[in-house]
Amino acid sequence: MEKIWAPWRIEYIKQPKDQGCFICDMIKAPESEDKKNLLLYRGKKAIVLLNKYPYITGHLMIAPLKHCPNLADLSEEEGREIWNLTTKAIELLKVTIHPQGFNVGINLGKVAGAGLRTHVHVHIVPRWGGDTNFMPVVANTRVLSQALEETYEELMKKITILYADKK
């Protein structure tokens, strides 16, 4: 049997699961750490970041600056910016990594699959025909076609898409 290594996953597997809010930690960090944190964009009310432990290459997350667990806790302005950034982030992915489709969703609560239940966020998962195979089911392994740092750099080349209409 062949082995496929995904060494970056071990950091996530071994870390304590209740160690605060990584999204708030990113927001509080200086902008000079954005690249290290895979934070692509800081808006007025929300941020766009690459998922550090992605399901697939290009897995983005959109999160409000405000720490809150539920959509109902967001103001209309926050909700509008999150949805606007979600739409623009999809366009960013289309022009950079050219997916054939997307899964877009919000996991609210543990039973819904939320790994971080205290800070609501939107997942954008790019999809390609044939990107799902036996690996996640049989080997509990996801195969990524590009390193996170390379994906970050590629997205940053077209990041101006997210800045359109920034107020």
Q: Which residues are catalytic?
A: 121
H or E element at residue 78: helix 76-96
Residue position matching structure tokens 């992605």: 54
Distance, in Å, from the CA atom of 9 to the CA atom of 140, rounded to the nearest integer, reads 11
Q: What are phi and psi of 104, to 5 degrees?
A: -125, 125
Instruction: Please provide the DSSP assignment of 83-146 as one string.
Output: HHHHHHHHHHHHHHT--SEEEEE---SGGGT-SS-SS--EEEEEE-TT---HIIIIIS----SS
